[in-house]
A and B are shown apart, each in its own frame.
Chain A
Amino acid sequence: MNTANPALFQASDLNRHNARVQRRYRLLFGLMTLLLITPVLLILGTLLAKGGSAISWEFLFSAPTDGMRTGGVFPALLGTIWLVTVALLLSVPIGIFAAIYLSEYAGDNWFTRIINLAIINLAGVPSIVHALFGLGAFVLFFKFGTSILAASLTLAVMTMPVVIVATRESLQAVPPAFREACWNMGATRWQTIRRVVLPNSITGILTGVILEVSRTAGETAPIMFTGAVFFTPFLPQSVFDQTMALSLHLFVTATQVPGIAEQVPFGVALVLIALVLTMNSVSIAFRMWLRGKKKW
């Protein structure tokens, strides 16, 4: 005997209303996403259209000549790689170790809460303030002069809070139950960190580092007082040399050189973006390789 109520699965007014609202929100979120990627596509498109013609082997691998109007960007490209590498070599280990201490060792008390608050605030300090700090501390007080070392230290101080925050977030994303299970076996805190916590947070930590690579490469203010110069005919030989940098070079070619061909600053910007994307994709590939190995 069939007793099924035929009205049971018919859409009621409420059902229809809910479906309508849900469609509207999906449309809203989709539009926002579109809005978000439009500038990215426009920027990349403009750079490619206007600067693409400037790119050549010669542009990449020769020094600028005729007051930046001709020649290439090689000293600036190399300088940016120097600055980013030295800055990250300093900030990433220190930042990660500090984050491990704050997340895994330090107790939850007023002192660590103040430290955490200070770190978050430090991450929000404008880069020009870091620049002046770097000038005062590293260039003048420690007498490093305007050099890669002083500039990289300034960049490191600037990126460290972000590395710490990102690392702490991914450490805390590891469920506490994993730590407790490990401690209960008689593992020390360090054994627990090494065998359980770090393997499961390393991908998140790398994400934080990747974001910092881009930011460090693009920063102009912190390096223009501390280590980057308008023009130098020499390639840097050590961290105590001055250097050119892509971000400053972009500023210079875009605003300070009269009568420069329009394609040159666009070409410089394209090289800078390409450099960042290359560095990012290497770390993204590394992250994907790590993620393929672990998952819970």
Chain B
Amino acid sequence: MVDVASPAPLADASQQAVAAVPNKLEVRNLTIRYGSEAALRDVSLSIREHEIFGIIGPANAGKTSFLKAINRMDVFTSGMRVEGEIHFAGRDTRRLNNVYALRSRIGVVFPLPVGLPMTVYDNVALSPRLRGITEKAELDVIVQRCLTRAALWDEVKDRLNALGSLLSGGQQQRLTIARALSQEPDLLMLDEFSIAVDPVTTMRIEDVLKELRQEVTIILVTNLVQQARRLADRTAFFLGGECVEIGVTEDLFTGEVKDQRTRDYVEGRFG
């Protein structure tokens, strides 16, 4: 709801239009290699504050690697090498010594829900505890707020002491979102979150995301192109390690594309 005013579908033009709104994330000439194989080649893009930025593309497009690079998970991934610049909130993350502080500002939701083998309460209280919050009353407030915002509170409020890993798949995914929110992140990255979730839960989570955009910037990696259409302000199309096209989402779907491959993918002709 922020940026539809800018009618520029072309990558370079949209980057100029963006200049007025502060960029949350700026990526320049990003290349990611595992060993000698490049997973992502020379990607440049910028993501604005409070937008939902969609990334679509088939398997092996480099979408997940892109997220890992932003989060500096390359430090913990053997064989992963990152070249180029990633500026987060104005700071070059490649030069950060304290990657932990960076990661704590970025919430991540994985394709398969990861309920940590601890209670529902502890799952959500983990991040605040890592930040040094120990007071029970304060933790209670955070846990309830995050579970409520992840649309899970009503289902688990009577069993906060049950194991998080024993919840159903859809509930665990919302638990994962609640856990990401408990970090009070500036940026939320969702990696194909609906892959193991039923359609009803998916719609509920999508509603949650629409509300969250008031407060956080969201990167939504998805292989459901219609999901990108429903949620994303702008969308990038990744293919085989290349960023083929970035544009206002609606333009990609109404055929105002630069590259024929984008049209083919969006219309379901391959992928």
Contacts and interface: CB of A to CB of B under 8 A. Distances in A.
Genuine A/B complex: yes
Contacts of B71: 184
A52 to B, nearest CB: 46
Interface stretch (B9-17, B35-43, B98-106, B215-223): B98-106
Interface string B185-201: 00000000000000000
B116 A196 contact: yes
B89 interface: no
Given A181-B110, A185-B103, A185-B104, A191 B130 contact: yes
Given A191-B130, A295-B163, A296-B163, A184 B116 contact: no
A177 interface: yes
B63 interface: no
Given A181-B110, A182-B126, A185-B183, A200 B76 contact: no
A294 to B, nearest CB: 6
A240 interface: no
Contacts of B104: 185-186
Interface in B45-95: 71, 73, 76, 78
Contact of B116 (A107, A178, A183, A295): A178
Interface in B142-166: 163, 165-166
Interface string B106-118: 1110101011111
A188 interface: yes
Contacts of A296: 115, 117, 163, 165-166
Interface in A41-73: none
A178 B100 contact: no
A13 interface: no
- Which of A181, A196, A294, A296 has most B Cβ within 10 Å? A181
B127 interface: yes
Contacts of A107: 78
B234 interface: no
B159 to A, nearest CB: 15
A182 B101 CA distance: 13
Contacts of A195: 118, 126, 130
Contact of A185 (B78, B127, B166): B127
B117 A187 contact: no
Contacts of A181: 108, 110, 114, 116, 176, 179
A199 B106 CA distance: 26
Contacts of A183: 73, 76, 103
B108 A184 contact: yes
A195 B119 CA distance: 12
Contacts of A178: 114, 116-117
B130 A186 contact: yes
A200 B117 contact: yes
A295 B117 contact: yes
B110 A177 contact: yes
A189 B104 CA distance: 14
Interface in A114-136: none
B165 A188 contact: no
A279 to B, nearest CB: 29
Given A185-B127, A186-B127, A294 B117 contact: yes
B103 A186 contact: yes
Nearest to B71: A184
Ranked 7 nearest A-B pairs via Cβ = A186-B104, A296-B117, A186-B103, A296-B165, A184-B108, A181-B114, A186-B100
Interface of A: 107-108, 177-178, 180-189, 191, 195-196, 199-200, 294-296
21 contacts: A108-B78, A177-B110, A177-B114, A181-B108, A181-B114, A181-B176, A183-B73, A185-B179, A186-B127, A186-B130, A186-B183, A187-B100, A187-B126, A195-B126, A195-B130, A196-B118, A199-B118, A295-B117, A295-B163, A296-B165, A296-B166
